[in-house]
């Protein structure tokens, strides 16, 4: 493999390695014990072996498909183990529509009482968190938290037209009001949160009957809701939470990895790295490493796209960028194709995720750094291709032409440390210098070298 190829592969490998390290460093301490929730359970203390069992899980971040999967599995786990209560500690800026509706549906039909607890202090339940709070059997907030801003947003970074906006908003209002009526909470405020994007702190939420409990911590929460009656699909149930056994459902390694790769930033990185790997493989067939890494990255990216609301115009622009980058390596355009690819990649990244919520879109820092890196790599590869095309061949028959050798006895010429059989149309003396003017397999054609 040529030195310039090694430089490109080393650059690609180093960048991909640093991305993998940065994305997985948060999961180093994760454990994985197979059970219904694909998670492991840790005892949080308190209670005896005869006490009621309370499961606790934490949702921290945007609501997506993986969150829906975790909630479903946690409900199944709590039901299978006859848990008295499932507490979901929530801190979210919002989330995507489909998984949010799916989670709310799971709450409304859960055979196990669910308490949604917005915590710790400083946490919020924005957008999707509001719908989840209203759907839970018990709604609680820690001190210094807030809830609200549930107005639905458009996709693709554009404003919703008035008719569509009215339809989407009315549908969201109907769903949250239905949940409010079922749980006996403030339906008027819920409608206001959707239509006007209002937000309120925990103290106002309690006063307005948006939530049921305001608790300092988990122990305080369990003490306050002990004896509270909730309505399940099977009928009413009175919670008995004296001296509970509190067990936490930790997120499994599998779910953590899936949660990472389904983040919008990571999906864009995987798509970009995958395209770069395929491009490098086409540039240097047989190098294997970039092609394998690129294929894996693309498969993971496509999995991510299945779980995210993708704007297909943005995806088309990213694919166009990849085509332009590959064309730049094959066609000398003096950088025009690279510039076009960089612009297409940047615009595609901006439009890729079908939402205008900043917390759910590709961050500008990731977008700019990836576009810059891909652009530099394409420029470097193109420069190496052009440079290589301007040099004469170094190997093979063509590589021998023009080299200078010394005539040896027996019709041989000494060239580049080796003896070669040679012939000439003119007489040459042993020890004289000759220039190679042709080659046919192992036979060289030479002439006198005129200094």
DSSP per-residue string spanning 69-138: HHHHHHHHHHHHTT-SEEEEEEEBS-B-HHHHHHHHHHHHT-SS-EEEEE-STT-EEETHHHHHHHHSSE
For CA atoms 222, 225, 231, 237, give the dihedral sign.
positive
Are 407 and 384 within one domain? no
- Spans in the chain with pLDDT lower than 50: 1-4, 6-7, 14, 17-18, 20-38, 45-48, 154-159, 393-394
Residue 407 sits in a domain whose CATH number is 2.40.50.140
Final residue in a domain of this structure, among 390, 406, 428: 390
| β partners of residue 235 | 232
Q: Residues 94, 224: one domain?
A: yes
Q: Cβ distance 293 to 343 under 8 Å? A: no
Residue 302 lies in a domain: yes
207 and 286, same domain (yes or no): no
Does one domain contain both 433 and 379?
Answer: no
**For the CA atoms of the chain, what is the radius of gyration?**
33
268 and 224 in a single domain? The answer is no
Tell me, yes or no, whether 350 lies in a domain: yes
79 plus 156 within the same structural domain: yes
- Residue 74 maps to a domain: yes
Residue 269, in any domain of the structure: yes
CATH number of the domain that 239 lies in? 3.90.226.10
Is the domain of 199 the same as that of 96? yes
Are residues 180 and 60 part of one domain?
Answer: yes
Q: Is residue 195 part of a domain?
A: yes
220 and 292 part of one domain: no
Nearest alpha carbon to residue 301 among 355, 343, 344, 264: 264
Where a domain ends, among 390, 410, 434? 390
Name the H helices within 235-311. Answer: 253-261, 264-283, 289-307
Q: How far apart are CA 165 and CA 68, in angstroms?
A: 26
Domain that holds residue 193: 35-251
Q: Is residue 218 domain-shared with residue 144, that is, in the same domain?
A: yes
pTM for the structure as a whole: 0.69
User: Is 151 within the bounds of a domain?
Assistant: yes
Question: Which residue's structure tokens are 């332009």?
Answer: 324
Q: Could you say which of 222, 251, 280 is where a domain stops?
A: 251
SS3 assignment, position 171: helix
pLDDT score at 33: 35
Closest listed residue to residue 73, CA positions, set 24, 46, 36: 36
Q: Residue 202, exposed/middle/buried by CB under 10 A (0-12, 13-18, 19+)?
A: buried
Flag whether 23 is in a domain: no
Sequence-distant contacts of 42-50: CB under 8 A, at least 24 apart: 42/247, 42/248, 42/250, 43/245, 43/246, 43/247, 44/246, 44/247, 44/248, 45/246, 46/219, 46/243, 46/244, 46/245, 46/246, 47/243, 47/244, 47/245, 47/246, 48/243, 48/245, 49/245
Whether omega for the bond prior to residue 120 falls within 30 degrees of 0, making it cis, is yes
Q: Both 11 and 119 in a single domain?
A: no
Could you give the CA distance from residue 252 to residue 248 in angstroms, rounded to a whole number?
A: 12
Q: Is 28 among the domain residues?
A: no
In this structure, the answer to whether residues 381 and 407 fall within a common structural domain is no
Locus of tokens 């409900």: 75
- Count up the domains in the chain and report the number: 3
Query: What local confidence, expressed as pLDDT, does residue 68 receive?
Result: 93
């Amino acid at each position: 493999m040529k030195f310039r190829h090694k430089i490109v592969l080393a650059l690609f490998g180093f960048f991909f390695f640093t991305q993998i390290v940065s994305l997985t460093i948060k999961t180093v301490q994760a454990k994985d014990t197979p059970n219904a929730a694909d998670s492991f359970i840790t005892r949080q203390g308190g209670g005896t072996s005869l006490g009621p069992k309370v499961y606790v899980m934490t949702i921290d971040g945007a609501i997506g498909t993986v969150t829906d999967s975790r909630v479903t599995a946690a409900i199944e786990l709590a039901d299978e183990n006859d848990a008295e209560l499932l507490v979901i500690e929530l801190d979210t800026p919002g989330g995507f529509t489909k998984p949010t509706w799916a989670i709310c549906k799971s709450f409304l039909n859960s055979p196990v009482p669910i308490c949604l607890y917005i915590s710790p202090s400083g946490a919020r339940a924005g957008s999707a968190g509001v719908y989840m709070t209203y759907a839970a059997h018990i709604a609680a907030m820690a001190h210094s938290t807030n809830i609200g801003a549930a107005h639905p947003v458009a996709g693709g970074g554009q404003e919703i037209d008035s008719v569509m906006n009215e339809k989407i908003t009315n549908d969201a209002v109907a769903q949250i009001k239905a949940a409010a009526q079922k749980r006996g909470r403030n339906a008027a405020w819920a409608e206001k949160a959707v239509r006007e994007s209002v937000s309120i702190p925990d103290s106002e939420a309690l006063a307005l009957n948006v939530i049921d409990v305001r608790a300092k911590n988990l122990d305080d929460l369990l003490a306050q809701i002990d004896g509270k009656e909730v309505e399940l699909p099977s009928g009413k149930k009175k919670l008995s939470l004296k001296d509970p056994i509190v067990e936490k459902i930790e997120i499994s390694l599998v779910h953590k990895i899936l949660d990472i790769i389904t983040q919008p930033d990571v999906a864009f990185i995987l798509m970009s790295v995958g395209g770069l790997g395929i491009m490098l493989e086409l540039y240097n067939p047989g190098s294997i490493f970039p092609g394998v890494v690129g294929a894996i990255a693309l498969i993971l990216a496509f999995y991510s796209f299945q779980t995210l609301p993708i704007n297909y115009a943005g995806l088309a622009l990213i694919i166009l960028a990849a085509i332009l980058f590959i064309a730049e390596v094959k066609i000398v355009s003096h950088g025009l194709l690279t510039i076009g690819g960089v612009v297409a990649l940047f615009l595609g990244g901006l439009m890729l995720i079908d939402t205008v919520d900043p917390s759910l879109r590709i961050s500008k820092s990731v977008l700019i750094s990836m576009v810059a890196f891909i652009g530099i790599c394409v420029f470097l590869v193109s420069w190496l291709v052009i440079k290589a095309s301007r040099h004469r061949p170094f190997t093979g028959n063509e590589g021998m032409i023009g080299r200078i050798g010394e005539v040896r006895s027996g019709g041989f010429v000494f060239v580049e440390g080796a003896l070669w059989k040679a012939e000439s149309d003119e007489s040459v003396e042993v020890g004289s210098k000759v220039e190679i003017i042709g080659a046919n397999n192992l036979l060289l054609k030479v002439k006198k070298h005129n200094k």
